[in-house]
Amino acid sequence: MSKIVIVGAVGGGATAAGQIRFYDPDADITIFDRDSTMSYAACGTPYAIGNIIKEPESLLMADPQQFKEKRNIDVFLKHEVLEIRREAKQLLVRNLDSGEQFVESYDTLILAPGGSAVIPEIVGLSSANVFVLRSYGDMQGIQRFIKENKPKTCVISGAGFIGLEMAENLKHLGLNVQIVHKSSQVMSILDSDISERIEAELAANNIQLHKDAVIAKAGPQKVELSDGSQLEADFIIMSVGIKPNTELAEGAGLPIGKTGGIVTNEYMQTEDPSIFALGDASENTDLITGEAKRVPLAWPAHRQAFLIAQKLSGNAIPKKGLLGTSVVKIFSLTAAMTGLNERTIRDKGLAYKTVIHQGNSNAGYYPDHAKIMLKIHYDAASRKILGAQCIGGKGVDKRIDVLVTAIYAGLTIDDLQALELSYAPPYSSPKDPINMAGYKAFGK
């Protein structure tokens, strides 16, 4: 009987355990995690804070007892793996409650340690109320602070996914919210013209944005920015980035790639074939360029869990590269992207063309319709799609998902006009925006 030990019990680790059990009913599976909760929907935490999700407990997908009863998987929470002893195939584990240390053996080890929020060194930060949002416990801490202290102002550092989602949800609670962002545009993974629409939406909802600035000093109720601005802040949300938790892998001598993630092969194995890595801390490849890529999002972690389970069950499926497909809600807007953005394409010196379509999400005469902007970059010679972005009031995710499928299938920009997409006035137009982009690019 194979003994499989997994480090990390959130999305990737818990999913890997469940997948392995599905394909191997006899495997001995054990999970260790230093947190006090497991298998929670981390992407839902901003909406629980904003009281959009009324029952935060609904984000908890499972607990150790359920995993044991339903899947015969042993889960040990508040247990930290301190060391990997590769030659002996052993782990040194510490029970965080008792302080006891013990040795656990393994035949296969799966690392799903996730990532940690980056907290910059800022003068006076220790005297301020500072929060990050990387765990269920972080969510509870923010909720508790808001309930007990009834704050009126918040400064969010960072205008990425978490920063924007938290801005909307805190505004929903009635707080005065300001965002500080070190770059000249929000959501730097997007093209600047798409980001500008997000910035306009923030302004329309009275979210003040301070670009090209960082928090230089902090205090109990105020922060000072690098541009000299003074902002009131009953508390601060830090969302400036995520650092992959690779310390355990590094201590075991496993290679770390240029993206900062644990290097993995086509089957998610590290340099040591008995050790796999997945999720936020793993380095993968870009589907379009073939270069190293790290995508700390939910979909890649779940897919990688399936690939590991297949490899261990004797049905090895090599991974494809990642596109970094993502979507975010900002008040009345939705923005989504996949593949390469324009800045990356230019940095790589690729010859490309761009087609932009601005129109309606569905029939303009139908009462419920919205404006959308669809932007697609494609190779000038092969006409293969390199990347796409879309922003608008509705139907944005649908269009990006079609383009993800087109890229994966190797379709060209010209193939888009021939796609027979579903149409009825509440959903689209006889020529969908995807079709229109293909027609506009034809012969260009």
Catalytic residues: 43
The three-state secondary structure class of 102 is strand
- The residue length of the chain stands at 444
d(CA 20, CA 28) in angstroms, rounded, equals 10
Task: Give the Cα-Cα-Cα angle 194, 199, 201 (nearest 5 degrees).
Answer: 100
DSSP conformation class of 260: S
Provide the sign of the torsion angle of the four alpha carbons 119, 124, 127, 129, taken in this order: negative
Structure-token pair, residue 226: 């690098």
User: DSSP string covering 381-424, please?
Assistant: TT-BEEEEEEEESSSHHHHHHHHHHHHHHT-BGGGGGG------
Structure-token pair, residue 274: 């008995």
Any idea of the CA torsion for 42, 47, 51, 55, to the nearest 10 degrees?
Answer: -40
The three-state secondary structure class of 314 is coil
Structure-token pair, residue 198: 């997000």
Q: Can you tell me which residue has the tokens 């690729």? A: 350
DSSP conformation class of 274: T
Dihedral pair phi/psi, residue 243, rounded to 5°: -100, 125
Nearest to 117 by CA among 33, 243, 237, 11: 243
The three-state secondary structure class of 261 is coil
Q: Find all residues with CB under 8 Å of 392, minimum gap 6, and list them.
A: 333, 334, 361, 370, 371, 372, 373
